[in-house]
Amino acid sequence: MTLRATAEDAVRRTLAAPATLGGGRLLCIDGPAGSGKTTLAAAVVDAAPPEVTTALVHLDDVYPGWSGLAEGMDRIARLLVAPLARGAAGGYRRYDWMAGQEAEWHDVSPADLLVLEGVGAGSADFAAHITILVWVEAPRDVRLARGLERDIELHGLHEDRDRLRARWQAWSADEDAMHARHRTRERADVVVEGLG
């Protein structure tokens, strides 16, 4: 299935399901870092019908640094999902990876379709509010190469490449443990391979 067809299918499934997040629906795109989640999320937003209000949140903007996976997931559950489930606005404080500190607050208003993308997006802690859970995967070596390239070129993380690789490997171990604990892949409604 092409990227566009995958995105259209995910949107169709989500909008056909009953609301799970207040009056809206929550489409979560999870999987290991570097698997293609961000690419799919952009395609999903693009595939949504024009009359459907959408919001997109990238968990990379929420994690407070390399060791912040658990804290980022907790923030999403408390500050974003819980308020939206009550029909109120939620939000998050962006983490500035270059500065290594918290940055500005982002409000997220209730929408017909919230796309939550990133490692931990399919957390079992708010499984009752997830309308559709998409798992994206790719081989570990491909993911590592993509991640290093992205962090060096796009995010300006020009630290020693060996040090950056060690950070990625530690992150990978954290996400593997978290995904196993939450049974994320097993709970997924859709499994997608090989996006880039």
Stated as kind and residue range, the H or E segment containing 166 is helix 161-182
Instruction: Measure the CA–CA gap between 12 and 47, rounded to whole angstroms.
Output: 9
Top pLDDT among 181 and 142 is at 181
pLDDT value for 171: 86
* 58-87 tens-digit pLDDT: 999 999 998 999 999 999 999 999 999 999
* 97-106 tens-digit pLDDT: 888 899 999 9
Q: Bridge-partner residues for 113, per DSSP? A: 25, 54
Phi/psi of residue 111, each to 5°?
Answer: -140, 160
pLDDT value for 51: 97
pLDDT value for 157: 55
Instruction: Measure the CA–CA gap between 4 and 27, rounded to whole angstroms.
Output: 16
pLDDT value for 154: 54
pLDDT value for 186: 97
* 13-52 tens-digit pLDDT: 999 999 999 999 999 999 998 888 999 999 999 999 999 9
pLDDT at 10 > cutoff 80: yes
pLDDT at 159 > cutoff 70: no
- Phi-psi sector, 186: left (phi>0), alpha (psi -120 to 50), beta: alpha
pLDDT at 153 > cutoff 70: no
| Inter-residue contact 41 to 115 (CB < 8 Å) | yes
pLDDT at 156 > cutoff 90: no
Q: Which of 50-54, 85-89, 148-152, 185-189 is predicted least confidently?
A: 148-152
Instruction: Measure the CA–CA gap between 196 and 11, rounded to whole angstroms.
Output: 19
Nearest Cα to Cα of residue 194 among 115, 119, 139: 139
pLDDT at 94 > cutoff 90: yes
| Inter-residue contact 115 to 173 (CB < 8 Å) | no
| Inter-residue contact 38 to 117 (CB < 8 Å) | yes
Residue in the structure block whose two tokens are 């996400």 = 175
pLDDT value for 164: 75
